[in-house]
Amino acid sequence: MENAHIRAIMEDASGRIWCSTNKGISCYIAVKNSFYNYGRWDGVPIVGFMSGSVTHDYDGNIYFGSLNGLCRFNPEMVLAKREAPSAIMTGLRIFVPISERKVRKR
């Protein structure tokens, strides 16, 4: 979990636990014993979540209240998109300090 200061907690329809914290939103998946964290880079406002300010609607969306308004998301959509991008190496440079370079004689 990204931050231990929990502002609000909500369980979704699949039994996952969602928490708003001082550093974003975290999701605990019990069967994996894992947390997934969402923050500024995921579009989550990381400051200003209000204590106890959470609800859900009939479509499964979860709403966390913040000083800037509501943060709404559908847990099924968020987790479905959560994949690490492939890494591609396009080049490699090795730098050797001048003091370690050997001068070649021609």
With beta carbons less than 8 A apart as the criterion, state whether 43 and 64 touch: no
pLDDT at residue number 105 = 63
pLDDT at residue number 54 = 93
Nearest one of 11, 35, 22, 36 to 66, comparing CA atoms: 22
Tens digit of pLDDT at every position of the chain (106 positions):
666 778 899 999 889 999 998 888 889 999 989 888 888 777 777 667 888 899 999 999 999 998 888 888 888 887 655 566 677 888 888 887 777 777 666 6
